[in-house]
Structure 1
Amino acid sequence: MPRLTRRDTVQLCLLLLVVPFQFWLSHEFRQPRPVLKAIMEFMDSCQGSLTLYGSKFWESILFLLEDMRGSPGQQDNLPGESPAIEVLEYRNIQNNMFASSTLPRYSRSPDIHFRIGDVVLHKHKQLRGVIVGWDYKAQAPAEYLKDFYKTKEQNQPNYLIAIDTRDRINPQFTYTPDENLQLLTNVHVIHPNLEEYFERYDGSRYIPRPWLQAIYPKD
């Protein structure tokens, strides 16, 4: 077996550290995509100057990070919903967007087929998740609606869904129209943020915490 040089040893150690470091960040911050974006920007800035270990080494690191982050072609974009982005990150800077309004929904129309706490399946992407909020019709920035929505999808109820991490390894939320969803029963969803919204799972749906129930009193 050939003996590893110092350069080879450093390369191997860094490669072995990338994956557990990313998982630690995902668990620690519960916002893996922004963290990975920052890592990617750092790596891009370093790639030109840290040439000690060769371009192939940095290409390998960047490839691993891209694979963990998910390339744009893997997002399976569909009209009428967000791509696989961290919707909550966008909500933080957009008041009352993506089911973030705290105004109580005192009425329910027949077009609203699901409730907060319902476990649903995205019929096109085959993603399981639990509904953590909904709007009477799509509430999103104009440019967002222009890019991802048709008029029909804009004018029907839209739901914010916490996606099961068995279907998307990085904790994610998606915002999607009513027509894309199918109710599931006896399905338990895994997502690190569910305890913020729900007290427990009763075997068929998640029971909302009092603050969330107050926003959706008819659910």
Structure 2
Amino acid sequence: MPHITSGVIMQLALLLSALPAQYLISKWTSGTETQRHIATQRILDTWDSIRKSYLNTAAWVGWLNTWIPKLPSFGEEEEQYQTLEALAIELMMHDNEHGYFAVSKEVRSPRPAYVLHRVGQVVMETQNQMVGVIMGWDAGLRAPPEWIKRKKYSDSELERAKDTPHYRIMFSGPDSSSILIGYIPQYNVKLFQDFQPDIPTLEHYFSHFDGERFVMEEWLQEIYPHD
């Protein structure tokens, strides 16, 4: 893997976040009060996450090696391209204009009965045994082609994934002050009860933990009225 310095990572992060930031700023200046609140919060959360985690060289490179599926490497240029693409996809996890990764502000109503878990519930991602909190969900797979390609689904696996609810889940990152965002299919998620994880920025989305789940703030409850 080519040597990646913290300076290079900062430049990549700033360049790749420019368009999402411009989009969010445009949203902040229009729409309802709730939409402006969401847009503003996402700008702050995205920068906070990048500053605390992805500008940390060791944490960022380690996360790339363990969390994002890889394509075969065909030399240094190919590997650099994959690193750029991986970072672009990760930034898209925070916000994007296509509504990928359960960031759409569309109200989830009615709520399909086959969506088994709810926003605010503490869950475990069963493949990596990571515990996190559900931040949102899609009734089916809603992700960019680049991300789907990296997952290396077989035809049958892809068909299954397309019709499976997917959850946007926040986890603690490589260090105590950082976060990771996952987009996990329902068959790899199970409830993890009687535990309150300590994850940075949760207070922006939830008012408190009631002993079983995190209680959504009013603006998030408006998007998921039946959760």
Specify the TM-score bucket, using the shorter chain as the normaliser.
0.5 to 0.7
CA distance in 2, matches of 1:123, 1:132: 17
Matched, 1:190 2:198: yes
- Please name the residue that 1:74 is paired with: 66
Cα distance change, pair 168–113 in 1 and its aligned pair in 2 (3 A): farther
CA distance in 2, matches of 1:143, 1:30: 22
Q: CA deviation at 1:29?
A: 3.0
Matched, 1:212 2:220: yes
CA distance in 2, matches of 1:109, 1:155: 12
Larger radius of gyration: 1
**How many pairs are equivalent?**
159
Cα distance change, pair 116–88 in 1 and its aligned pair in 2 (3 A): farther
Q: What is the TM-score normalised by the length of structure 1?
A: 0.63
Q: Unaligned 5+ residue runs, structure 1?
A: 1-27, 37-64, 79-83
CA distance in 1, matches of 2:159, 2:53: 29
Aligned partners of 2:168 and 2:183 also within 8 Å: yes
Aligned partners of 1:76 and 1:125 also within 8 Å: no
- Please name the residue that 1:35 is paired with: 55
Q: CA deviation at 1:163?
A: 0.6
Question: What fraction of aligned residue pairs are identical, expressed as a percent?
Answer: 29
CA distance in 1, matches of 2:195, 2:174: 12
Cα distance change, pair 112–71 in 1 and its aligned pair in 2 (3 A): closer
Give the residue type in structure 2 aligned to 1:141.
P
2:98 to 95, 98, 102: 95
CA distance in 1, matches of 2:91, 2:188: 23
- Please name the residue that 1:155 is paired with: 163
Cα distance change, pair 165–121 in 1 and its aligned pair in 2 (3 A): same
Give the residue type in structure 1 aligned to 2:121.
D
RMSD value over aligned CA atoms?
2.8
With 179-188 and 87-96 compared, the bigger mean Cα shift is at: 87-96
Matches within 5 A, 1:12-23: none
CA distance in 2, matches of 1:86, 1:167: 21
Aligned partners of 1:98 and 1:160 also within 8 Å: yes
1:126 to 101, 126, 129: 129
Cα distance change, pair 213–135 in 1 and its aligned pair in 2 (3 A): same
CA distance in 1, matches of 2:222, 2:60: 38
Aligned partners of 2:59 and 2:175 also within 8 Å: no
CA distance in 2, matches of 1:67, 1:191: 16
Q: What is the TM-score normalised by the length of structure 2?
A: 0.61
Aligned partners of 1:128 and 1:167 also within 8 Å: no
